[in-house]
Amino acid sequence: MSALLQIEDLRVTFNTRHGPVTALDSVSLSVNAGETLGVVGESGCGKSITALSVMGLIPSPPGKIAGGAIRLAGEDLTRASEARMRALRGAEMAMIFQEPMTSLNPVFTVGDQIAEAIMLHQNVSADQAFRDAVALLDRVGIPSPDRRARDYPHQLSGGMRQRVMIAMAVSCRPRVLIADEPTTALDVTVQAQIFDLLNEIQRDFGAAIILITHDMGAISEMADRVAVMYAGRVIEQGKADDVLDLPQHPYTRGLISCIPALGKGEDSLREIPGVVPPLHLLGAGCAFAERCAHRAARCDSEKPLLQAHGHHPVACHAVAEGRI
């Protein structure tokens, strides 16, 4: 079965005061209809840039897609006109942005904002679009949806604003739904409700979901497959159970060891030393080398390729050479 959305060797660059830098380096991902792909990594690893590239929202200048392809049902979006992308956004693919308070327009009611998205892609009247917006608010679990549709974003809680974003994203039943950190700053109870809602919407609409997160717990709960990103590259990917149960890359192991668990003492938690390096300072070798306990001379001079090792592909010289 061919993937509904396929990213092939995607390369994105930005012009900066340090000169051109590569934000995404040969990123390849795919997701099928009805499947959830989790994309995980620390801030600055390229997760959101990947999502914005798919949506055609990379600011140009300073950014540009320098190579590769993004195919939606076989159509290469990197070659699509802006008019074509406007037609696809919302109707065929949609994105739940990371911070709903800054993504929603503060001077329009939430019902009007959802209705606007419906009218843009469907041949319906303003009255019908507003009724559909109310129905969507009810669908995503907002109480008193008819009254809440007339509220402004600042009148809603963080969890409700996130539900509004989800309602807007699914208003035209897109085939691909990108959720960029959909539970950031929400308490754990609301997080669970949002994940349940996304699962329910996927079952009803058959959408392919790309879940972008730094939370390995969210990946465990939601994802069928997972891709781990670091410094603009995919360094490990496979079935979620395989990657979580049998992580191979030292970075993936570090992310998992940072997860607290009942019955484990504080000594069981391990931090990953250092931070993601600035993109303009990346050298010729592995970007994770300076933070890695398995660093060798080859790691400083040669980028590891994503290759099959064990249960799934991983980009690590130490794994390839059997040192870990």
Report the pLDDT value the prediction gives residue 268, as an integer from 0 to 100.
59
228 with 42: CB under 8 angstroms? no
Alpha helices, DSSP H only, in 58-144?
Answer: 82-88, 100-103, 110-121, 126-139
Report the pLDDT value the prediction gives residue 158, as an integer from 0 to 100.
85
CB atoms under 10 Å from CB of 30, counted, come to 18
Tokens of 175: 């085939």
CA distance 84 to 288: 38
306 with 235: CB under 8 angstroms? yes
What CATH number belongs to 5-92+174-266? 3.40.50.300
CB atoms under 10 Å from CB of 106, counted, come to 9
CA distance 84 to 133: 25
CA distance 34 to 215: 22
CA distance 105 to 110: 8
33 with 23: CB under 8 angstroms? no
Q: Is 88 helix (H, G, I), strand (E, B) or coil?
A: helix
Task: Give the pairing type, strands 93-96 and 176-180.
Answer: parallel
Among 286, 272, 274, 283, CA closest to 316: 286
Report the pLDDT value the prediction gives residue 88, as an integer from 0 to 100.
94
Domain range annotation of the chain:
5-92+174-266
- Residue that the structure tokens 């992308």 belong to: 85
Tokens of 48: 């959101």
Which of the 8 DSSP states describes residue 140? T
Q: How do the pLDDT tens digits run along the chain, 324 residues long?
A: 579 999 999 999 999 998 999 999 999 999 999 999 999 998 889 999 999 999 999 988 899 999 999 999 999 999 999 999 999 998 899 999 877 778 899 999 999 999 999 998 888 999 999 999 999 999 888 999 999 999 999 999 988 998 999 999 989 889 999 999 888 767 788 888 888 888 988 988 889 999 999 888 889 889 999 999 999 999 999 999 999 999 999 999 999 887 766 565 556 567 788 888 898 899 899 999 999 999 999 999 999 999 998 889 999 999 999 988
- Residue that the structure tokens 């065929």 belong to: 92
Report the pLDDT value the prediction gives residue 261, as an integer from 0 to 100.
64
